[in-house]
C-alpha cells in the first residue's frame, strides 16, 4: 500500500512536470490562443493516473501557474492569466478534460473499453472547449458563436487526435508499469 502511494505521488509529479514542459511547445496564432501539446499532456494525466490523481496533477499544474510560476504556454503564469486572458477558460477546462479521461478508467475493463475511454476523453475535450469559448467570448467581447469559430474549430481535430494518442500511449506505458 505504501509503495502504491509513493508510486502515485511520483507519477503525479512527473505528469505535472510533463504538462508544464509540453505547454511550452507552442505555435502562436492570430487569435492569441496558441497551438500547444497541453491537451495531450492533460489527457495523458487522466488516462495514466486515473480519476483522482489525474485531476490532482492538473490541479497542481494550474495552481503552479496561478501563483506565478511560468508553466502556461509561452512561459506565462499568474492568476490573471487564468481569469483575465483569452486562454484562461481552456486552462480551467483542463480540469474537466483530466476528469473525464480519468473517469474512463473506471470503464476500461468493459467489452468496448477503448471506444468508451476515447468517448469519455472526447466529452472532456468538448467541455474544455466550451469553457475556453465562453471565456474567450467574454474577454474579446464577441458572440459565443464567433468564439467557437475563432478558438475551437481550428483546434478541435488536433485536440481529438491528442486524446486518442494519449489513450494509446497510456496503454503502452501501462504494459511496462
Read off the pLDDT of residues 143-159 as tens digits, 9 standing for 90 and up.
Answer: 999 999 999 999 999 99
Helix (H, G, I), strand (E, B) or coil at 35: strand
Q: Is the per-residue pLDDT at 26 higher than 60?
A: yes
Distance CA 8, CA 170 (A): 15
Q: What is the pLDDT of residue 110?
A: 47
35 pairs with which residues across the strands?
A: 27
Alpha-carbon torsion 152, 52, 48, 28, what sign?
positive
What is the per-residue pLDDT across 80-94, written as a single tens digit (0 to 9) for each? 999 999 999 999 999
Question: How many of the other CB atoms lie within 10 Å of CB of 118?
Answer: 20
Q: Is the per-residue pLDDT at 113 higher than 60?
A: yes
User: 39 and 159 in contact (C-beta within 8 Å)?
Assistant: yes
Cell numbers linked to 30 = 492570430
Distance CA 47, CA 50 (A): 6
User: 88 and 135 in contact (C-beta within 8 Å)?
Assistant: yes
Residue-range domains of the chain with CATH: 2-176 (1.10.1760.20)
Rounded to two decimals, what is the model's pTM?
Answer: 0.93
Residues 6 or more apart in contact with residue 27 via CB below 8 angstroms: 34, 35, 36
Amino acid at each position: 500500500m505504501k509503495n502504491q502511494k509513493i508510486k502515485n505521488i511520483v507519477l503525479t509529479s512527473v505528469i505535472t512536470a510533463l504538462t508544464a514542459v509540453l505547454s511550452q511547445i507552442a505555435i502562436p496564432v492570430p487569435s492569441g490562443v496558441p497551438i500547444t501539446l497541453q491537451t495531450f499532456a492533460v489527457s495523458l494525466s487522466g488516462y495514466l493516473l486515473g480519476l483522482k490523481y489525474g485531476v490532482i496533477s492538473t490541479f497542481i499544474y494550474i495552481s503552479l501557474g496561478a501563483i506565478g510560476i511560468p508553466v502556461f504556454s509561452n512561459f506565462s503564469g499568474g492568476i490573471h492569466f487564468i481569469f483575465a486572458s483569452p486562454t484562461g477558460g481552456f486552462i480551467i477546462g483542463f480540469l474537466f478534460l483530466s476528469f473525464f479521461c480519468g473517469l474512463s478508467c473506471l470503464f476500461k475493463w468493459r467489452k468496448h473499453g477503448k471506444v468508451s475511454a476515447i468517448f469519455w476523453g472526447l466529452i472532456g475535450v468538448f467541455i474544455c472547449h466550451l469553457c475556453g469559448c465562453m471565456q474567450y467570448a467574454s474577454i474579446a467581447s464577441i458572440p459565443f458563436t464567433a468564439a467557437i469559430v475563432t478558438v475551437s474549430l481550428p483546434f478541435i481535430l488536433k485536440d481529438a487526435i491528442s486524446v486518442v494518442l494519449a489513450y494509446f500511449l497510456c496503454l503502452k506505458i501501462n504494459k511496462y508499469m
